[in-house]
Amino acid sequence: LVVLINPAFEALRYAPLYDMAQSDCIDNPDQKPKLTILTSEGDEATGKLFPLGRSLYTLTETHNNHVERQFCASKWKYTLAEGEADRTTVGHFEPFFTHTLKPLDNKTPHLQELSVETTSERWKNNTGEINFGDIALKHLGKTNLHNPYLNIRASKEIIEGHNDIFKPEIVRFIKGLINYSIAEKD
């Protein structure tokens, strides 16, 4: 499992992985996450400064700004604007968002232990939302439910900015992902 938090690389570089994960149209409940990208919606370094710098750098480049992609008999489709994807970080490029990470709506924390067994069971029985302590990972329905590549948009309440990555909620979430990724198959 590779976990990247607020990474500063172009969404265009992620496009082949996104497409590859969708191309087989197979939703395998035993598929474990291989790459998790976690980006705060409040990260101004990758959300505002990166595109500004990339805009100057890509000024003379030519891009195809209307590339239609569809998978699984058009169940999932998107239009890739290559220019925008080349100027925007992967964590701020909306077409590639697969999940959101937000605080649970109710105020009662769910601090259930995230053991290997409980995390694996939650992931296998995933219906689109999994609670990790008092935060919820919600699938957006743009990809297979058990896609190995997760591009997660974290709310400002979870990760406030670029360096706010060591909150207990984030550590618990990453621990849960690691527990699941190392679990043996049943």
Per-residue pLDDT of the chain (186 residues; tens, 9 = 90+): 999 999 999 999 999 898 888 877 777 888 889 999 999 999 999 999 998 988 887 877 777 777 777 767 567 777 888 888 899 999 999 999 999 999 987 654 554 555 555 555 666 666 778 888 788 899 998 888 888 999 999 999 999 999 989 999 899 899 888 888 887 765
Other C-beta atoms closer than 10 Å to the C-beta of 39 total 26
| Token couple for 70 | 């569809």
User: What is 128-184 written as a DSSP string?
Assistant: SEEEETTEEEEE-SSS-TT-SEEEEEE-TTT--STT----HHHHHHHHHHHHHHHPP
> Residue 129 and residue 145: Cα distance in Å, rounded?
10
Rounded to whole angstroms, the Cα distance separating 33 from 25 reads 16
pLDDT in tens, 90-116: 999 999 999 999 998 765 455 455 555
With contact defined as beta carbons under 8 Å apart, do 2 and 39 qualify?
no
Look up the pTM and report it.
0.86
Q: What is the pLDDT of residues 21-34, one digit of tens each?
A: 887 777 788 888 99
